Amino acid sequence: MSPTSPASPLDDVELRPGRPPVLRAATPGDAPGWAAGHREALRAVVAEHGCVLVRGLGLRDVPGARAVFERLSTGLMTEREAFAPRQAYADGVYSSAQWPPNQPMCMHHELSYTLEVPGLMLFACLTAPDEGGATGVADAATVLEQLPTELTDRFEREGWLLTRSYNDEIGSSVGEAFGTDDRAAVERYCRANAIAYDWRPDGTLRTRQRRSAVTRHPVTGRRCWFNQIAFLNEWTLAPEVRDYLIEVYGADGLPFNTRFGGGDPIGEDVVQLLNKVYEANTAREPWQAGDLMLVDNIRTAHSREPYAGPRDVLVAMADPVRPSASSPTFEETAR
């Protein structure tokens, strides 16, 4: 940059250990205009660091947040196969997943069990909680490097298996997950997306899908630990929640669970190890009302910490991509 060139606000990105990159943006009240003017520079920060928290935009409502989301993305996505219900506020703009405030949402990559995933996640905090509730982030390439080679080798060979049992009480219902209650439409979606399905005698749906655990970033080519193996596993649930669900639905009827790709159970020790490595690499910053956060969904896992008080964080999934896997995506054909 020459001595006469105007300083870019992105030159002031704060980089501190244990925190995501933070940019303080002074705007005259035109957050969408600011976002449009800094779109490429912001995306460059995300490409370099995996995420960025923008503070000072003063986001206050759904229309304003959606306008910013649209200007920073190449297209907002409609969510399918959600693991928990969300409220849809506008096309492509959702509430955070409905998850008990006192329970953490452990590290995961959004919709990493689908064939087409968001390349970019966008978050806007309209109301910050009284305490807790941060959206933590962790670098997926670093996590992969720090996991035992024998474990990651097995997951690369076999992939991972997600099992789901849909009901109207826990997790997403069929209609919420697939956007329809029509059986024929659900079956068409499953066949098109390599999902084995089984309608139970009581009319409920169970599904199985194998996916790759490791993928390469579409731009950098770096190998990333990309999945929801730990988050959707039974051993990540609080013990009392797990015991209750097994008592009500049975061990094979949990709303969701994960296994090795060959079908073997994943032990509690493996899940604890995964979450321990995630925690060792987590960066976090408490939300403030008006904040915006951009997250590269392939390179960077994210979480939601327990919180107290009202918390209103909008979510958008954008820039759909089909991950290039290091091991193939498997089509589960067993019924």
Residue 306 placed within a domain: yes
Q: Bigger pLDDT: 116 or 328?
A: 116
Backbone angles phi, psi at 55, to 5 degrees: -115, 135
Q: Is 2 domain-assigned?
A: no
Which two three-digit tokens encode residue 281? 């690499």
Considering the domain boundaries, does residue 135 fall inside one? no
Which residue, 317, 306, 309, is CA-closest to 105?
Answer: 306
Q: How many CB atoms lie within 10 A of CB 116?
A: 13
pLDDT exceeds cutoff 90 at 133: yes
Same domain for 154 and 227, yes or no, is yes
* Predicted local distance difference test score (pLDDT) of residue 1: 41
Q: What angle do CA 319, 189, 158 make, to 5 degrees?
A: 75
Share of the chain above pLDDT 90, in %: 88
Strands 137-139, 282-283: pairing is antiparallel
Per-residue pLDDT tens over the stretch 156-180 = 999 999 999 998 778 899 999 999 9
Residue 6 placed within a domain:
no
Is residue 114 over pLDDT 50?
Answer: yes
Q: Is residue 111 included in any domain, yes or no?
A: no
Q: Are 162 and 220 part of one and the same domain?
A: yes
Q: For helices 62-72 and 39-49, what crossing angle results, to 10°?
A: 70
- What is the pLDDT of the chain when averaged over all its residues? 92
Same domain for 32 and 123?
yes
Query: Do 163 and 253 share a structural domain?
Result: yes
Both 147 and 22 in a single domain? no
- Residue 322 exposure: Cα atoms within 13 Å on the Cβ side: 4
pLDDT score, position 269 = 98
The answer to whether 174 and 186 are in contact (CB under 8 A) is yes
Region 291-304 average pLDDT: 98
Q: Are residue 296 and residue 234 in the same domain, yes or no?
A: no
Q: Where are the beta strands (DSSP E) in 58-178?
A: 88-90, 93-94, 105-108, 117-127, 131-132, 137-139, 160-165
Under 8 Å between Cβ of 56 and 290: yes
Residues 235, 230: Cα–Cα separation, whole Å: 8
In a domain, 335, yes or no: no
Of 13-27, 121-135, 274-288, 320-334, least confident by mean pLDDT is: 320-334
Residue 57 sits in the same domain as residue 36: yes
In a domain, 1, yes or no: no
Q: In this model, does residue 6 exceed pLDDT 50? A: no
**DSSP letter (8 states) at residue 265:** B
Q: Is residue 331 pLDDT above 90, yes or no?
A: no
Query: What residues form DSSP beta bridges with 127?
Result: 312
Same domain as 314, residue 190:
no
- Asked if residue 229 and residue 200 are part of one domain, the reply reads yes
Q: Does residue 261 carry a pLDDT above 90?
A: yes
What CATH number should be reported for the domain holding residue 170?
3.60.130.10
Q: For residue 325, what pLDDT band results from cuts at 50, 70 and 90?
A: low
Check whether residue 175 and residue 220 sit in a common domain: yes
Which residues, 6 or more positions from 201, have their beta carbon under 8 angstroms from its beta carbon? none
Q: Residues with Cβ < 8 Å from 176, sequence gap 6 or more?
A: 82, 85
When divided into structural domains, the chain yields a total of: 2
Q: Is residue 27 domain-shared with residue 124, that is, in the same domain?
A: yes
pLDDT, tens digit (0-9, with 9 covering 90-100), for 42-68: 999 999 999 999 999 999 999 999 999
Do residues 207 and 151 share a domain?
Answer: yes
Domain assignment present for 262: yes
**Number of residues assigned to the chain:** 335
Domain that holds residue 303: 17-101+116-130+286-320
Last residue of a domain, one of 220, 250, 275: 275
Residues 182-210 have pLDDT tens digits of 999 999 999 999 999 999 999 999 999 99
| β-sheet bridge partners, residue 160 | 211, 260
- CA–CA separation, 52 vs 182, rounded Å? 40
93-107 mean pLDDT:
94
